[in-house]
Amino acid sequence: MLVKGFVRVIEAILLSLVLISFFLPNILSELPKHKAEDWDEVSGYLICSDLLSSLDVNNSFDYLLTPNKVNPHLNYQKSLETLNNITKSVFPAIVDFEYEIKNVPNYSISVGVDSSCALPDEIFEPNYPPVRIYKNLHAIPTLFSNNYSTYIICGNVDLSMYKNEITNLLNRGKGIVLIRDFSFAPDSFTREIFQIEYTAGGISSGNIIFRNLSNPNTVRIAKRFINNIIRVDAAGGNGSINLGSNSYFFNILPGPCINISGSGCPCLHESDSCALGGANITIYQISAQWFDMKISSSGINKRNYIFSDTYLATVKANKYTVLSSFDKTKSLANARILEDYALSYETEPRVFWMYNFDKTKDDLKLLLKTAIIWTSGEHFFIFNKNIPKNAKYCEHYYSGLNNNNIPFIVKLFYWGY
């Protein structure tokens, strides 16, 4: 249905743009005479801007970037073909084009993982978007010589030994995720890129909170957290949901629906929500062996989520801290955009450090999954064409996909006039 809806939307857009293309020469003919190439430039820009505005009004990128979860790859390919055809139809035949997307993850991302990491498989399950997350394991000495969207490192690795390789990746806009407790001061390179300020401290236990929810330094990663999904294993038709300091037993009933024991949530179908303590969960989709859910705070501010875990409190909080002890003095996670390493705005690398958390907790697994997607760069070109230096472009700001309120930018390049 989503693809059919996308086609109807595109048909409406096509009609309006054909009308513009038909009447524009008559309008321009009444204006003062200028060089033909000037009018070509005006015409191209008007067509470009109107197309992007029409795609926004009709929420067309929802169909493309968050395809139907039933056969998402097929639906994505059909929407991609439709977008290609409509763009060809509104521009002259001699014009070629390319779409650039910023602040939204690609349809698929690739992840290089340190083979010493023991991470649950559900962290790498589809997210809509991205629909595909490919992971490959490598020993640290060979990890950085491979090409991925982002890289995950675990444990006490001296990153200064790989400074040249990592710097080269960062210059190309690649992301780095570090999962590590600090029982001693790290090497200078680890300290610099992840902003780790080591201090004495011991084991603590209790609530952990999001910080800097609107801080541009961290690109509002908390907002991404509540819009992402995590897969919960239900092998045999039952299992447990682990949120904060609580665990809830569930089983999958015919329908299908999720029955959570003793929670006041007797039968949750897809798109249903329920409060579990300080958390609010929304069921995204259900299978016989698993289900996907979104997690947010059950309070007024959905992003004001409270985690809970046992942790080593040895890193001071700073402006890059996104997860901290309840007294806000110690950091449990830092997120940074490394503008100094970027060759241009398209290649601004992102890095994320997180303490070595309890891997059974579904909310903390979702936070790590969010970090992986975030560090992938959330920047890509739809058709992967070579854009000439003399290409023209227009751009448009979109409020978000499927009402997630995370703005993104689309640039439409065109050339050949």
Mapped to the 3 state alphabet, what secondary structure does 359-404 carry?
Answer: CCCHHHHHHHHHHHHHHCCCEEECCCCCCCCCCEEEEEEECCCCCC
> Measured over all CA atoms, what is the biggest interatomic distance in the chain, rounded to whole angstroms?
78
Instruction: Specify whether 127 is located in the same domain as 219.
Output: yes
C-beta neighbour count of 211 within 10 angstroms: 20
Confidence class for position 19, pLDDT limits 50, 70, 90: very low
Q: Which of 64-68, 120-124, 296-300 has the highest mean pLDDT?
A: 120-124
Report pLDDT for 346: 73
Instruction: Specify whether 176 is located in the same domain as 83.
Output: no
Element (H, E) at 322: strand 321-325
CA distance 83 to 398: 17
Instruction: Specify whether 162 is located in the same domain as 69.
Output: no
8 Å CB contact between 274 and 268 = yes
Instruction: Specify whether 318 is located in the same domain as 393.
Output: no
Confidence class for position 7, pLDDT limits 50, 70, 90: low
Instruction: Specify whether 131 is located in the same domain as 25.
Output: no
- The mean pLDDT value of the chain amounts to 89
Instruction: Specify whether 369 is located in the same domain as 390.
Output: no
Report pLDDT for 220: 79
Instruction: Specify whether 56 is located in the same domain as 201.
Output: no
Number of domains in the chain: 2
Sheet holding 238-243, edge to edge: 238-243, 246-253, 257-260, 265-268
C-beta neighbour count of 248 within 10 angstroms: 20
Instruction: Specify whether 81 is located in the same domain as 203.
Output: no
314 backbone dihedrals φ, ψ, rounded to 5°: -130, 10
- pLDDT of 17 over the 60 cut: no
Over residues 121-139, mean pLDDT: 95
8 Å CB contact between 257 and 271 = no
Token match 């854009």: residue? 387
What's the pLDDT tens digit per position in 263-322?
888 899 999 999 998 999 999 999 989 999 999 999 888 989 999 999 999 999 999 999
Domain assignment present for residue 238? The answer is no
Percent of the chain at pLDDT > 70 equals: 89
Report pLDDT for 31: 45
Sheet holding 279-286, edge to edge: 230-233, 290-297, 279-286, 273-276
Token match 């809970």: residue? 308
The beta strand positions in 73-222, using DSSP E, are 96-102, 108-114, 132-138, 150-154, 175-179, 203-210
Decide which of 359 and 218 is more confident. Answer: 359
Task: With CA atoms as reference, report the closest residue to 152 among 124, 128, 125.
Answer: 124
Domain assignment present for residue 294? The answer is no
Instruction: Specify whether 190 is located in the same domain as 172.
Output: yes
Q: Which residue range forms the structural domain that includes residue 368?
A: 108-224+302-375
Report pLDDT for 394: 97
Instruction: Specify whether 327 is located in the same domain as 358.
Output: yes
Domain assignment present for residue 92? The answer is yes
8 Å CB contact between 96 and 385 = yes
8 Å CB contact between 289 and 177 = no
Domain assignment present for residue 82? The answer is yes
Instruction: Specify whether 185 is located in the same domain as 330.
Output: yes
Instruction: Specify whether 213 is located in the same domain as 339.
Output: yes
8 Å CB contact between 405 and 54 = no
Domain assignment present for residue 182? The answer is yes
What's the pLDDT tens digit per position in 361-389?
999 999 999 999 999 999 999 999 999 99
8 Å CB contact between 303 and 297 = yes
